[in-house]
Structure formats: structure tokens, C-alpha cells
Structure 1
């Protein structure tokens, strides 16, 4: 689990068929301090597992599907910087939103225009499985960065985010050109809400009925007498 608050950037290099060397450009201690084998690190929004730790970076496993379905494979061409964030630790500040590192799909930059206070970046999404989770004022992770959707069309296939200058300068967003691909992850809470709404009008399954019977045996109503009988009053 991550927050979408990028700590530094790095570069990728394939060292075997499935292993990637991730080297930190700067502030390596933000990623490497306390890092252990088996830990997770968000690399441009993709959750990767650390299999080796080096002085200025780490080695991670990446399946062919991960490289194909995300931008990581493209980032190795020309050493394009990637955004890095260590996993969320218990007690850490949650300044962004809950980001899983499980990328839903790709988006593509349409334009980036600076105004007095921010960069207005517009993206398009071709896959409806991704755009369905994009809603106005909702959260989205773009290359692992926690951002708020400032505006979008009804389907979510076109949306805009306002990026403050610090985020723009300290991440790889500043290097994007129109047409470049980015990794997108919708808010995980929206996915669960969608499922609950989709299944809400269906009869309870046997497992749900069994759970309800365990919570309230025999379908009894929860009353003060019921609570007192079971030791709650």
C-alpha cells in the first residue's frame, strides 16, 4: 500500500529476463533506509518486490505482463526517469490517498498548460475499464502520483488534473510530451462501491445468510434485551 506521495525519481535497467535494476537519481536514503528484501516499492505507480538491495538502488522482479501492460518497458528506452515511493509504514502520514500499486491501465497526455498557480494537465483514456473509475473531484494515481481529478467528461475518458509546481518539477510529469503514456490507477474505494451497488439488488448468497445468522442467530432483532443476554449491557 502506498500514498501517492513520490519521494524521489530513478532510472530502470533490465539485468535479466525478469529482473530490473532501479537506481535512485538522488535522495536514495528516502527509498533505501529501512528497505529489506521482499519489501514493496512503487515504481511509476507499479508495485514491485525488492529481491536485492544495492548501494544506490535495488533490484526488483517484473513479469512480462507487467512490462507490457504498464509504461515500465518504455521507461528503459533512453533511461526515462521513474517515480519512486516506498510502501506505507504503520504510523506514517497519509498525505495522498490509498494507492495499491496495481495499475488499471494506460492514459495518454493531451496537453500541459501552466497558469498562475499550477499546471493543467489533460489526459485521455481509451479503455472503459479504466475510465469508469475516473470521477470529478475523485482521486487518481498518475505514474504513482496522488492527484485529484479537477474535471472530466461523463464517461471519464477525458479528464484534467491541476498539478502544483513542486510536484510537476520533482516528478517525471514535467518530462511528458503530448501522446506519452502514463500508468493510471483509480481509487480502490470506488471499485468496491461499484461492486456493492452492482450486487445490491440481488438475493443474499448462502454465505451472506450464514454470516447474518452468526451475527444475529435465528434472525432475531438486535434489541436491548438481546444485547444484555449476550453480555453487551
Structure 2
């Protein structure tokens, strides 16, 4: 489990088909490497990878075919990657719950600097990603916890506002229009959707709401939410 608060940047060096060497920047290395142990989880551009070997300035991890197919780790042009070690019990949760299980790939459409932030828009052709994108909801972009400022009805297009600190400390600064990014929807939304979907197949007496109109205060009170 991660928070989406990036600790630093690194570079990826493929070692054959299923192994990656991640080399941390000098400043990042001091934050990540000293506490690493074999078997630890590290989010690499939002992808949860397991440490199989620790290096003086980085680590080696194994990547499964499923992970390569669903994420940007299979893209040879990948530059800097965002790094975050797993959440420790008792640590501050400053972002949102990020599992490191990427739903799919999106693409940067535009990036515009404003007086207070960078407004970045993304698109995704993958329905499994778009279905969890909604206004003011949480989204992890390359492992970065961000809030959706605006989106279309399907969720295939969305906008985020990125503060200067996040922009400068992550690989968002290196993205160009068309650059691929890893996207992970909010895990809470996924569970809510699953419960509603299961409920819709039950008997009339056990019916659960499948639309916002059906999710009334009376229903919530009956089921112990108020």
C-alpha cells in the first residue's frame, strides 16, 4: 500500500525480459535505499514491484508479463520514474490509498502553466480506467496522488491541477503531449462498484441501489450509514 506522495526519481535499466534495475538519483538514494530489505515493495511510476536485490544506489525487481502489458514499464523510451516505498504502519497518509496495481495506461493531452499551478489534461482509451474517474475523485498518475478537477461523462478525458512542488519533484515535468502514463483509480470506488453490481443480481427484497438517485438517505439509514 502506498500514499501517492513521491519520494524521488530514478532511472530504469532493463535486464532481460523480466528484470529491471532501478537506479535512484543521488538525493533519492538516501531516502529509499537505506531502509530497503529484500522482498520490500516499491512503487515505480505507480507500479508495485518487489525488491529482489539491493544495490548501492538502487535495486533490482522482477516484472511479470501482466505488469508489462498493463503499464508503461514496457515502453523503451521511459525516462525518469517516480519512486515511493510502501506505507509504514503509523505513517502519515497525506495522499490517498494507492495499491500499485495499475488499471491501465493514459496519455498526456496538454500541460499549461498558470499563476498557481500546472493544469494537465489526460485521456485514456481504456474503459477499466475511465469508469473510476469522476470530478473531485482521487486518481494516481504515474503513482502521484492527484484530484480530478474536471472530466467528461465517460471519464476518458480528465484534468488535474498540479502544484509547483509536485510538478518539480516528479516526472510530470518531463512529459510531452502523447506521453504515456500509468493510471490507477481509487480503490474505494472499485469496492463500491463491486458491491452494487453484486446487489443488482439479488432478489427484489435484497435490492441494492445501482444509481445515485436510488442511493437515498433512507437507504443509508436503513443499512447503518447514518
Say what the alpha-carbon RMSD is for the aligned residues: 1.2
- CA distance in 1 between counterparts of 2:184 and 2:53 reads 27
SS at match of 2:35: coil
Shift of 1:17: 2.7
Partner of 2:126: 127
1:46-82 CA distance string (max 9 Å, x none): 00000000100000011233223211122x43x6000
User: C-alpha separation between the residues in 2 aligned to 1:181 and 1:106?
Assistant: 6
After superposition, the Cα gap between the structure-2 partners of 1:201 and 1:17, relative to the gap in structure 1 and judged at 3 Å, is closer
In the alignment, does 2:42 pair up with 1:41?
yes
Question: What's 1:136 paired with?
Answer: 135
**Structure 2: how far apart are the matches of 1:163 and 1:63?**
31
- 1:55-111 per-position Cα deviation (integer Å, ceiling 9, x unaligned): 00000011233223211122x43x600000000010111000000000000111110
For residues 86-125 of structure 1, the aligned pairs below 5 Å read: 86-125=85-124
Distance 2:156 2:17 in 1: 34
1:109-149 deviation line (CA, Å, top 9, x unaligned): 11000111000000011111110000000000000000000
Give runs of aligned pairs for residues 77-226 of structure 1, distance below 5 A.
Answer: 77=77, 80-203=79-202
Partner Cα separation in structure 2 for residue 141 and residue 168 of structure 1: 14
Alignment of 1:10 onto 2:10: yes
5+ residue gaps in structure 2?
A: 204-226
Per-residue deviation at 1:33? 2.4
Q: TM-score, normalised by structure 2?
A: 0.86
Query: 4-13 or 59-68: which moved more?
Result: 59-68
Taking the aligned partners of 2:199 and 2:67, their CA distance within structure 1 comes to: 33
Give the number of aligned pairs: 202
Structure 1, unaligned stretches of length 5 or more?
Answer: 205-233
Say which SS state the counterpart of residue 30 (structure 1) adopts: helix
Q: Which segments of structure 1 move beyond 4 Å, counting only runs of 4 or more?
A: none
Pair member with larger Rg:
1
